[in-house]
Structure 1
Amino acid sequence: MLRALTLLSLLYLSNCIEIGEDITFALDLIKHQPCARGGNSKWVEKLEFEGGNDKRGPKLEPVEGKPNCFTIGGRVQVLEDFSGDFSIYLELKNTAKKNAVPEKCVKQGEDGCGGFGSCLYCNACKTFGDSLGVQAQLLLDGNPIKCTDGLKQGTYDNLKLAFCLPRMEDILQSQGLTKETFLQLIQADDGNTVRAMGIFATVYVFDTDVSQQMQTQMRIESVYRKTKKSFFKDEPLPADVYWSLPFNQMLKTQQSYVACHKIYGNLRVSKI
């Protein structure tokens, strides 16, 4: 259930999303900001998006003509020229705890890319919003950045991060939930109101192909799960196991990515 909720974490809408005839979702943006770089950080920052909150700075904006697709822009600093195969990893959690295991990637491809949840989106130069699942991409003047051209050092006000979310119906189906069951799970004790939930998302941008690390990680996880007969199908891995996997370890040790941006909000679910 929490995975289904967390997939809504990047929504910031002037109007609520209506699911069926009696349930709406809305996210109150608290703030979004570049990730802090500690003294032991091993990643080289090449791209920094401007931070903001519910009162100032850039907001998340719907993409016209693309349902469930959004952008975030503002003033973007390109600190160093970079080009190549852009990949974007979207990490979704329901807690701010640093070492908490994120939501699982659902319908991930054999190449390690795609799906929805905490997933890696490869070939970010090429496609956006044309298949099932969340997608993420860098847009320059509203068009995909060409991998061959890359980005030159400088300050941009026409560069945006774009991403898409699947339909809520697809999310519930992937969780094996009906709308009615979902509402029962999130309903408050009085039976009339619905709890608000904290949402925490981190966007990582890579300028190298990291799909091999993700493919290796998928194979290792598959072998591990086969040795643990007591595991439920979608049960999260133990934190120590999760963060020891090849791709996840890159994030834990803060290396290889060139941009990082955090988004925080409160998800409200209401009965009409």
Structure 2
Amino acid sequence: MHNFIARLSMFTVLVNAIELGDDLSFQLELIKHQPCNYGGKAKWRRKLEFESGTDRMGPKLEPIPGRANCYTIGGKVEVFEDFYGEFSIYLELRNTASKKQVPESCVKQGPDGCGGFGSCLYCNACKTFGDNADVQAQLLLDGNPIKCSDGLTKGRYNNLKLAFCLPNLEDILRTQGLSKEAFLQLILNSDGRSARSIGIFATVYIFDTDVSKQMQTQARIESVYRKGKKSFFKDEPLPADVYWSFPFNMMIKNQQVFVACHKIYGNLKINQL
């Protein structure tokens, strides 16, 4: 169940009631969002940084007109050096701030290591932002996808945004094997109308190099590992030591290769209409 809740977590910075079908809605409450710490010992190269904000001040999440379940976050964005390449975005999702628990897995990941929903890599973020069931992410300049060939030059931007979408509720429940009724029984309070607030933690990593090969290799290694562990359930989380030993995950653990990093914290509440 925690997988489903965390996969909704990229909605966390909008305070709004949004309908999920005819009889469900959720309210998203921002706590704060901020750039990842970049100190003298950092192994990653900071090229881009988004402004921080809270539920009371700073940039908020904004819905994208005409695109259900799609949002942008902007504000002042600092580009510290020219930024070119095949941009890709990795969204790491958790339902706890504890690093002892591994992030949510990626569901419906493509054979190229990209796409899906959960903690997934979204490749070629310059070009793709469709309306299918997958979560998608990209960088927008003046409301349009950044062209990889043009990139970004050094400077401060007020017209640069991070955009992303989530699948609809029906698609998520289908992957979990849950009906709406079963889901409601799991999350609603005794009054049958409201649900407890659930903590949501997301980290956005941006790359300016192609890291899909590492993700493809990781998917193959994980498949072999799971086949060798007959006691594993299909969606059972990997042991932490195994999870962080995989190629792509190791880059995240060691804070390497990516060029931007932003953390989002919030609460999610689901209501029955």
**Category of TM-score, reference length = shorter chain:** over 0.9
The correspondence of residues 160-171 of structure 1 with structure 2, limited to 5 A, is 160-171=161-172
Deviation at 1:219, TM superposition (A): 0.7
Q: Is the 8 A contact 1:57 1:74 kept in 2?
A: yes
Deviation at 1:156, TM superposition (A): 0.2
The Cα offsets for residues 102-143 of structure 1, whole Å up to 9 and x where unpaired, read as: 111110000000011110000101111333200000000111
Deviation at 1:218, TM superposition (A): 0.4
Give the structure 2 partner of residue 36 of structure 1.
37
Q: Which runs of 5+ in 2 are unaligned?
A: none
CA distance, structure 1, for counterparts of residue 114 and residue 123 of structure 2: 6
Counterpart AA for 2:111: E
Over aligned residue pairs, what C-alpha RMSD do you find?
A: 1.3
Give the structure 2 partner of residue 242 of structure 1.
243
Deviation at 1:225, TM superposition (A): 0.3
CA distance, structure 2, for counterparts of residue 96 and residue 232 of structure 1: 24
DSSP 3-state at the match of 1:198: strand
Deviation at 1:269, TM superposition (A): 1.3
TM-score (normalised: structure 1): 0.96
Give the structure 2 partner of residue 10 of structure 1.
10
Q: Which runs of 5+ in 1 are unaligned?
A: none
Consecutive aligned runs of 4 or more in structure 1 exceeding 4 Å deviation: 189-192
Give the structure 1 partner of residue 156 of structure 2.
155
DSSP 3-state at the match of 1:10: helix
Q: Is the 8 A contact 1:88 1:203 kept in 2?
A: yes
TM-score (normalised: structure 2): 0.96
Deviation at 1:99, TM superposition (A): 3.7
CA distance, structure 1, for counterparts of residue 191 and residue 125 of structure 2: 45
CA distance, structure 1, for counterparts of residue 175 and residue 139 of structure 2: 27
The Cα offsets for residues 64-117 of structure 1, whole Å up to 9 and x where unpaired, read as: 111111100000000011201000000110000124211111100000000111
The correspondence of residues 122-141 of structure 1 with structure 2, limited to 5 A, is 122-141=123-142
Count of aligned pairs between the two proteins: 272
Deviation at 1:16, TM superposition (A): 1.0
Give the structure 1 partner of residue 97 of structure 2.
96
Counterpart AA for 1:164: C
Tell me whether 106-115 or 180-189 shows the greater mean CA deviation. Answer: 180-189
The correspondence of residues 170-185 of structure 1 with structure 2, limited to 5 A, is 170-185=171-186
The Cα offsets for residues 182-239 of structure 1, whole Å up to 9 and x where unpaired, read as: 0111123565542110000000000000000000100110110011000001111011
Counterpart AA for 1:9: S
> Taking every aligned residue pair, what percent have the same amino acid on both sides?
71
